[in-house]
Chain A
Amino acid sequence: MHIAEGFLPPLHAAAWGAASAPFVVHGVRALTREVKENPESTLLLGASGAFTFVLSALKIPSVTGSCSHPTGTGLGAILFRPPIMAVLGTITLLFQALLLAHGGLTTLGANVFSMAIAGPWAGFGVYLLLRRFGAPLMVAVFFGAFSADLVTYCVTSVQLALAFPDPGSGVAGALAKFGGIFAVTQIPLAVSEGLLTVLVMRLLMQSSKSDLVRLGVAKLAGRSDRKAAA
């Protein structure tokens, strides 16, 4: 989903940068507030950022015969809400743009918008919706992470289609083309990301239940237990 350096026309690059900036600024505020109010969160914040670091570095073969990478943003979005993930995702994208020539500074705004904003919000939304409808935690976590991953790549396809419409079939034609490259390739990877996020969440349930309770992800006791106690 990394749009390469210089591969978005200046106007598009600037527009996506302007669209992303407020989310990142808001995210920095949310992050500093979280660290100040809950210093015990710092370690888990680091772990969430680390998860994105690992997953976005892994280029994995897919059924389309090409390779792509997961994003790892669903976990942090579910644990700490999407604004904080906007910051952690931006850090990862900056690292890749500066050291790996993967993505770029001129396309940073567009890449931040897809991976660090749209993906996390979509993933968090799906997670929250499923929880409201009473889905088990791990089912909601799986579909949340799956959606964060897939939506990121769909947004990238839209960004490229808007910048490079097909001479004959317009934006729709270009969207089909970029969608074919990104979105289809991404489906099995999004499944993998969902499973890995479930794995990490299971490990967190074993090691850091109190943090998950404080963050509102897990409950101290099941509903039936509380009823029995009442």
Chain B
Amino acid sequence: MGMSRNAKINTLLLLVVAALAVLPLALGLGEGKEEPFSGADAQAEAAITELKPDYEPWFTPLYEPPSGEVESALFALQAALGAGVLAYYFGVRKGRRQGAAAAAAAAGSGTPGDTRAED
């Protein structure tokens, strides 16, 4: 494979992150739980009700997604927005670098036979 050393290290980093996320699922670490792989935030809410059974939340969200599906759609939207901006950033940087490299090549190596670089 013609992967550079850099690309290999980057791929390896992604693979380790993926493995860290998948292993708990593959090893069935959620087994025996009432709700396997529920959110830690929700568990904290349950712990509060356990510690102080008479506690009543005194404020409710102004807007609540009407269903789990809509909620996950909004979470996906959040991730997509972030990923889009990151991709835009790296795209712009790459374009600038290539533009600068092309300009340097055109200015530096104006060989006699190469007239197009003079335009």
Contacts and interface: CB of A to CB of B under 8 A. Distances in A.
Interface of A: 1-7, 9-10, 43-44, 46-47, 49-68, 95-102, 104-106, 156, 160, 164-167, 174, 177-178, 181-182, 185-186, 188-189, 191-192, 195-196, 198-200, 202-203, 206-208
Contacts of B104: none
Nearest to B55: A164
28 contacts: A4-B41, A10-B58, A43-B92, A46-B85, A46-B89, A50-B81, A51-B86, A53-B81, A53-B82, A54-B82, A61-B21, A65-B32, A66-B30, A67-B40, A68-B39, A101-B64, A105-B62, A160-B48, A164-B51, A181-B43, A181-B47, A185-B40, A186-B40, A192-B20, A192-B21, A202-B13, A203-B90, A207-B97
Given A5-B57, A66-B40, A160-B48, A58 B79 contact: yes
A192 B18 CA distance: 8
B71 A100 contact: yes
Contacts of A105: 59, 62
A181 B40 contact: yes
A9 B52 CA distance: 12
Nearest to A107: B59
A63 to B, nearest CB: 5
Contact of B30 (A65, A100, A104, A160): A65
B40 A6 contact: no
Interface string B20-46: 111111000111110011111101110
A171 B67 CA distance: 35
Contacts of B83: 50, 54
A99 B21 contact: no
Contact of B79 (A53, A101, A167, A191): A53
A100 B65 contact: yes
B57 A4 contact: yes
B14 interface: yes
A5 B90 contact: no
Nearest to B39: A67
Nearest to A10: B58
Contacts of A56: 78
Contacts, number: 176
Given A101-B65, A181-B47, A199-B13, A57 B78 contact: yes
B109 interface: no
B36 A164 contact: no
A131 B64 CA distance: 44
A46 B82 CA distance: 9
B3 interface: no
4 shortest A-B CB distances, which residue pairs? A6-B57, A53-B82, A54-B82, A50-B85
A98 B75 CA distance: 12
B1 interface: no
Nearest to B35: A66
B46 to A, nearest CB: 9
Q: Tell which of B43, B55, B76 has the most Cβ of chain A within 10 Å.
A: B43
Contacts of A61: 21-22, 24-25, 29-30, 37
A171 to B, nearest CB: 11
